[in-house]
Structure 1
Amino acid sequence: MTEQPRLTTREAAQRLGVKPETVYAYVSRGQLSSERAPGGRGSTFDAREVDALAGRGSRREPGTGGASGASGELSFRTGITLIDKDRYYFRGVDAVELATAYGFEDVAEWVWTGEPAHGSRFTAPQQFLDAARLAVDALPVHSSSMDRLRVAAVATAAADPLRFDLDPSAVLACGRMLIPTLVGALPTVGQHRSGEGRLARQLWQRLTSQLPDEASIRLLDTALALLIDHDLAASTLAARIAASARAHPYAVVSAGLGVLEGPLHGAASGLAHRTLAEVLERGGAAPVVADHLRSGRRVPGLGHRLYPGEDPRATALFALLGAIPQAADALAAARDVVDTTARHTALHANVDLALAVMSVAFGMPAEAGETVFAVARTAGWLAHALEEYAERPLRMRPSGHYTGPRPPRPLPA
């Protein structure tokens, strides 16, 4: 075969249907290789590589289920969440307004179906709850809440012989049962009464020994509703990939839980909790922020790549926390962190800082925010699973760009 002539940057851009600058973006991401043109002016590209990249969908428009030609990032059709400037919306309705007007269960139903619901109740069937608790009780004492949630999801799946039913009605029934089962599998803290009623009340007694009042339950209920979904975060992408392979809903949730536990995702609120606790212990944010700056660490709970201003979820939770006298010291510490950091860089509070205020104020462990995040986001992962089950199976199959030695190589001695 005769070797194809190499393409100039302009020719590669034309074949891909993108701007020349985007061609170099593909190179920087490892999606294309380049060589210097003769004479050292410009770059050249292998025509077969360019055609292969074009065939993988580099020219598709955003929202078609393939890669976006403008940025090379994956983009999927979704009717669940829209993030626009400093606000976000669930199925076209302001998410903060929804979360402050309705409880977690009602907002979850809206996100799942787009139909209004009032006074929804999620119930854990006893046989599934028994299976989850039995598995969780077998874990070591030092196991975290995330360990328990992951094990509970697997145990509940094993107890459900109909878990491979992917009909929308079956997936919805799974969500209404699985979420309270996950909560019910967590051990209670202190001497609480029965955890019947809304999910927020059931979860509260798994987070702190302090008895709740209506304001604190409303705070947790709102936090759960606000955290149901937030577009294609890393854990949600993992959940959609699992659903694309037609994994059952429990496996979809397990995929999301596995990614959520990463220190750059769900665990961020725990870092913010420890920071606030240290601020309160040392009497101010200045020495704590200084320690972070000196060691080159970012200050937890500040900044969000999707919002130029304050995270609207944090704004909503701060408003509720401001009306709770018990949260005054922790809230003041959070404001001190924001104001102190603002002297060096303009960063606003995100939802992790708001969750940290709640966990510090009510004597919850550092992992409490992550637990709230995981329980809430389970509803969002299932909403995305419902969307993905309606798409072509296995549509997310990227091609690797091989950079190893060229074959054939001799058999290793």
Structure 2
Amino acid sequence: MADQRRLTTRQVAARLGVKPETVYAYVSRGLLGSRRGPGGRASTFDPDEVERLAHRRRGRPGGGPAAAREQDAAGPVYSGVTLIEDDRYYYRGVDPIELARRASFEEVAWWLWTADQRPGPPFAAPPDGLSAARAVGDALPAQAGLVDRLRVAAVAAAAADPVRFDLRPRTVAATARGLIATFVDALPRRDGAPPSTQSGAVEGSIAARLWPRLTARPADPHTVTALDTALVLLIDHGLAASTVTARAAASARAHPYAVVSAALGAVEGPLHGAASGLAHRMLADVLERGAGPVVAEHLRAGRRLPGLGHRLYRTTDPRAQVLFERLAAVPEAAPVLAAAHAVTETAATHLPLPANVDLALATLSVATEMPPEAGETIFAVARTAGWIAHALEEYEERALRVRVTGRYEGPPPPVPPPSLR
């Protein structure tokens, strides 16, 4: 009898008001469970689970559009991308640490976007978008930073893409693949080599192509592996400030370039993407003066010690732990690893805060002679994949559902108009 109640894909699509391929996207994102029907040829679905999903997407039955809007504004944003619990985190239920050991950044990103476990196409920058991004990057003033270049590259690449408004899942995934490649390939090289003469040419993995944009030091397998690991671990981390911004833009049906541009604005803050740059400067100072004086100076000035503690982890940030393990295989990282350990040990006297991923990124950037903003750049390139995963979810939801309900606290009307003369 229970099997007779189960719904077909077509019935689920009709109930949710979506296309059949969207139903399978919900399955891949963990929003719906499915199992094969008799004969193993077609997927079937639990009607109660479908009803719960319909309830989340459209608000309470009978409540009307206004009630649905109020419920969405006040309630949580459901997502199947990342779970954070018990000092661990997971991409669609899978441990990112295991993913980093088994797959490249490109493979993990493509899987998050499409649920396709096969290696996807190479991440190649569209020639027109890459040319436009390099042109606007060359026009920036000398003091422009790497993340400044990413922001203008997103705008330039969007202007060069005539299909940017196509929000079908596979098109969005292809757009994201090209945008990430554009971000990396449009950055100037620090090793003295000229950019590729063939716009959009694929010269290795994203990690291998990003490396010479961050440091003049020659790459080796251990350092590129550490960088690729960092990219995988940083793809997503739940509803952080930049991700909420990305989802709000996607809720308004902004195209993928605009979604990423909006999120990059939130990354600029010192408490988000730029936090690793503060940790970089602190570690460089520790290498010169020792951990004791540097920690004391921060505390005396009333500043937080960058790179320590995380509001979502009680004991250990697993991303930092894995990156430190990767860096242990890089000989030149040993002094910086010792400096990072000295900071945590010194601070632990009164502040039992473990190292977070910002300190690990700073250890990577200091040990390999990258600039202080390298960690923020790595973060932004990696998190672009996560923002797109969240945008893909949001495109399947009711438009404009991500809206904060405000409470007015100004003077009660009517108030006489001010004299402006």
TM-score by length of 2: 0.80
Distance in 2 between residues matched to 1:198 and 1:167, nearest whole Å: 26
The answer (yes or no) to whether the contact 1:124–1:181 under 8 Å persists in 2 is yes
- Partner-residue secondary structure (3-state), 1:197: coil
1:209: Cα distance to partner? Answer: 0.2
The answer (yes or no) to whether the contact 1:192–1:209 under 8 Å persists in 2 is no
- Partner-residue secondary structure (3-state), 2:99: helix
Query: What is residue 303 of structure 1 aligned with on the other side?
Result: 309
The reply to whether residue 236 of structure 1 matches residue 243 of structure 2 is yes
Query: What is residue 339 of structure 2 aligned with on the other side?
Result: 333
1:202: Cα distance to partner? Answer: 0.5
Query: What is residue 354 of structure 2 aligned with on the other side?
Result: 348
Distance in 2 between residues matched to 1:57 and 1:155, nearest whole Å: 35
1:137-156 pair list within 5 angstroms? 137-156=138-157
The answer (yes or no) to whether the contact 1:300–1:353 under 8 Å persists in 2 is yes
The answer (yes or no) to whether the contact 1:310–1:348 under 8 Å persists in 2 is yes
Distance in 2 between residues matched to 1:77 and 1:257, nearest whole Å: 22
Query: What is residue 288 of structure 1 aligned with on the other side?
Result: 294
The reply to whether residue 115 of structure 1 matches residue 116 of structure 2 is yes
Query: What is residue 159 of structure 2 aligned with on the other side?
Result: 158
Query: What is residue 400 of structure 2 aligned with on the other side?
Result: 394
Query: What is residue 222 of structure 1 aligned with on the other side?
Result: 229
- Partner-residue secondary structure (3-state), 2:90: strand
The answer (yes or no) to whether the contact 2:188–2:213 under 8 Å persists in 1 is yes
Query: What is residue 190 of structure 2 aligned with on the other side?
Result: 189
Distance in 2 between residues matched to 1:253 and 1:405, nearest whole Å: 37
The answer (yes or no) to whether the contact 2:69–2:401 under 8 Å persists in 1 is no
The reply to whether residue 267 of structure 1 matches residue 274 of structure 2 is yes
* Matching residue's letter, 2:342: D
Counterpart selection for 1:373 from 357, 373, 379 = 379
Rate the CA distance shift 1:149–1:214 in 2: closer, same or farther, 3 A: same
Query: What is residue 412 of structure 2 aligned with on the other side?
Result: 406
Distance in 2 between residues matched to 1:140 and 1:126, nearest whole Å: 24
Distance in 1 between residues matched to 2:90 and 2:151, nearest whole Å: 29
The answer (yes or no) to whether the contact 2:247–2:402 under 8 Å persists in 1 is no
Distance in 1 between residues matched to 2:277 and 2:178, nearest whole Å: 28
* Matching residue's letter, 1:212: A
Rate the CA distance shift 1:230–1:184 in 2: closer, same or farther, 3 A: same
5+ residue gaps, structure 2, are 1-65, 197-201
The answer (yes or no) to whether the contact 2:276–2:375 under 8 Å persists in 1 is yes
The answer (yes or no) to whether the contact 2:105–2:206 under 8 Å persists in 1 is yes
1:339: Cα distance to partner? Answer: 0.5
Distance in 1 between residues matched to 2:152 and 2:417, nearest whole Å: 43
* Matching residue's letter, 1:347: L
* Matching residue's letter, 2:188: P
Q: Deviations over 1:20-68 (max 9, x none)?
A: xxxxxxxxxxxxxxxxxxxxxxxxxxxxxxxxxx96888x6xxxx5434
Distance in 2 between residues matched to 1:315 and 1:174, nearest whole Å: 33
Q: Deviations over 1:328-363 (max 9, x none)?
A: 000000000010000011100100000000000000
Distance in 1 between residues matched to 2:386 and 2:118, nearest whole Å: 16
Distance in 2 between residues matched to 1:304 and 1:351, nearest whole Å: 9
| Mean CA deviation greater in 329-338 or 395-404 | 395-404
- Partner-residue secondary structure (3-state), 1:329: helix
- Partner-residue secondary structure (3-state), 2:214: coil
The answer (yes or no) to whether the contact 1:79–1:91 under 8 Å persists in 2 is yes
1:380: Cα distance to partner? Answer: 0.5
1:90: Cα distance to partner? Answer: 0.7
Rate the CA distance shift 1:120–1:213 in 2: closer, same or farther, 3 A: farther
Distance in 2 between residues matched to 1:356 and 1:347, nearest whole Å: 17
Distance in 2 between residues matched to 1:339 and 1:86, nearest whole Å: 21
Distance in 2 between residues matched to 1:232 and 1:408, nearest whole Å: 39
* Identity level (%): 62
1:281: Cα distance to partner? Answer: 0.6
Distance in 2 between residues matched to 1:383 and 1:312, nearest whole Å: 22
Query: What is residue 264 of structure 2 aligned with on the other side?
Result: 257
Distance in 1 between residues matched to 2:338 and 2:382, nearest whole Å: 26
The answer (yes or no) to whether the contact 1:253–1:382 under 8 Å persists in 2 is yes
1:77: Cα distance to partner? Answer: 1.1
Number of equivalent positions = 348
Q: Deviations over 1:78-133 (max 9, x none)?
A: 11111111211111110111012211001111221223133752001211110110
Distance in 1 between residues matched to 2:85 and 2:73, nearest whole Å: 22
Counterpart selection for 2:255 from 248, 257, 261 = 248
What's the Cα RMSD here? 1.7
The answer (yes or no) to whether the contact 1:91–1:114 under 8 Å persists in 2 is no
Query: What is residue 363 of structure 2 aligned with on the other side?
Result: 357
| Mean CA deviation greater in 402-411 or 180-189 | 402-411
Q: Deviations over 1:367-401 (max 9, x none)?
A: 00000000000010000000000000001223321
* Matching residue's letter, 1:374: A
Ranked by relative contact order (alpha carbons within 8 Å, sequence separation 6 or more), the top structure is 2
Rate the CA distance shift 1:130–1:244 in 2: closer, same or farther, 3 A: same
Q: Deviations over 1:241-300 (max 9, x none)?
A: 000000000000000101001111000000000000000011x21110000111111110
Distance in 2 between residues matched to 1:269 and 1:120, nearest whole Å: 31
The reply to whether residue 211 of structure 1 matches residue 221 of structure 2 is no
TM-score by length of 1: 0.82
Q: Which runs of 4+ in 1 moved over 4 A?
A: 54-58, 192-195
